[in-house]
Structure formats: C-alpha cells, structure tokens
Amino acid sequence: MLLALISIIGYLMTILSTVVIVQFILSLLIAFNVVSLSNNFVSSIWHALNMILDPFLKPIRKIMPDTGMIDFSPMVLLIGLRILQMLLMGLANDIASAGI
C-alpha cells in the first residue's frame, strides 16, 4: 500500500515536471512571437498553465533574488522535484527490501 502511494506521488511529480517544461516552451514561443496571446487557444493554455504552476513557483520566487528578466524559479522547481523523486525512490527501495 505504501509503495503504491509512493509510486502515485512520483507519477504526479513527473506530470508536474512535464507541465513546467511545457510552460517554459510556451513562454519562449510567446517571447519570440511564434505564437501570440491574442489567440484565444494560446491564451487559455497559458493562463491554465500559470494557474497550475503559480502555487509552486510563487514561494520559490519570494525566496530567490531578483535576476531581472530571467526567471530561474521553474529550474529550481524542476531540480527540487527531481531531488524529491530520488528520495522517494530510495524510500521505496528501502521499504521493498525490508518487506514491509
């Protein structure tokens, strides 16, 4: 049961990492005028991604120093998620080897 819970949490963290990468790519496309926020479809995707990620990125942005136009908070979030995934997988391996 505990292994299943750890697997579900790891899977959700993988989905969140994918959403961060999609938002980053979309922000580059918007910045280089490949797509425009005046397009309703692009605008709705952009706002949905921001609504999903803002609860995770805002605390990181408060802690990090202001770097001007470059926002490093998605990279910090990705690194943090990867570290948590490694810790969870280590915990899952310990539980599996103990036979709990």
Query: Of 40, 39, 42, 38, nearest to 23 (Cα)?
Result: 42
Contacts of 41 (CB under 8 A, 6+ apart): none
pTM for the whole structure = 0.88
- pLDDT tens-digit profile of 27-78? 999 999 999 999 999 999 999 999 999 999 999 999 998 888 888 999 999 9
60 within 8 A of 76, measured Cβ to Cβ: yes
The domain total for the chain is 1
The encoded tokens of residue 42 equal: 């692009």
Where in the sequence is the domain holding 36, given as residue range(s)? 1-98
- pLDDT tens-digit profile of 9-20? 999 999 999 999
The torsion of the CA quartet 6, 12, 15, 16, rounded to 10 degrees, works out to -110
Q: How does residue 99 score in pLDDT terms, banded at 50, 70 and 90? A: confident
